[in-house]
A = this chain, B = another copy of it.
C-alpha cells in the first residue's frame, strides 16, 4: 500500500513574491498538488502571490468560499476541499495548501488542519505576517524589551477594543474598519499598491488588507 502523503501549510508572506521563504519557494516549485482558497469564484490572492513558482503540471484544488458571514456554507466548502485533499493524500501525494501571511495566524488553513490532522502527517512552513510587513514599510519598531504587543481584530466591539487598548503597550489593529487616534494606516503592505498614511488621512472605506499600527511612543528606543 502506498504511504499517505503529507499535508503542508505553506506561509506565503504578506504579498510580495520575494517575501516567500526559501523553503516555501522550494516546496512550491516541486509541488504536484496544491490547494488554496478563493472567494466566490474570484481570483485567489494566495495563488497570485506564488503564481510564478507553481509548476504548470500541478493539480490545483480550489476551495471556493461563499461571500457570506454565515458559517455553515464556509464549513461545507472546507468539508468538500478537505475530502478532495484527503483523496490526493491517500493516493500518496503531498498536498500543499497556499496560505497568505502565516498559516496559523488568523489563517483559514486551520479549518483544513482541523479536518485532516488526525489522519495525515502535517508540516507547517511559517511565513512573514502582515504585522511584520506593516512595521517594515512604515520603518516603525513594534515593540522593545519588556513591552507587550496586543493584536486586535478591527471587527471587535468598541467596548472590547477600548478595554484592550487601555491595558496595552504596542497595539496592532488588523482588518481595519474603525478609526483610532495617533496611528499609522498601512494598506496592502509590500504590494505595488501599498499606501502608508497618518490615520487621519486614511480613506473612509479601508480595504480588507489594511492595518493600523500604534506604537507606544516616540522614544521607547535605547
Contact = CB atoms under 8 A, between A and B. Distances in A.
Interface residues of A, number: 67
Contacts of A222: 71, 74-75, 78, 110-111, 114
A135 B75 contact: no
Given A105-B143, A106-B143, A164-B148, A128 B21 contact: yes
Interface of A: 9, 11, 13-14, 16-23, 25-26, 71, 74-75, 78, 102-107, 109-111, 113-114, 117, 122, 124-129, 131-133, 135-137, 139-153, 155-156, 163-164, 167, 190, 219, 221-222
Given A13-B126, A148-B164, 5 more contacts: A11-B136, A18-B26, A19-B21, A105-B143, A129-B129
B23 A22 contact: no
A143 B103 CA distance: 10
A126 B135 contact: yes
A17 B16 CA distance: 20
Given A106-B144, A113-B141, A156-B146, A22 B18 contact: yes
Contacts of A163: 167
Nearest to A156: B146
Contact of A21 (B21, B135, B152): B21
A25 B21 CA distance: 9
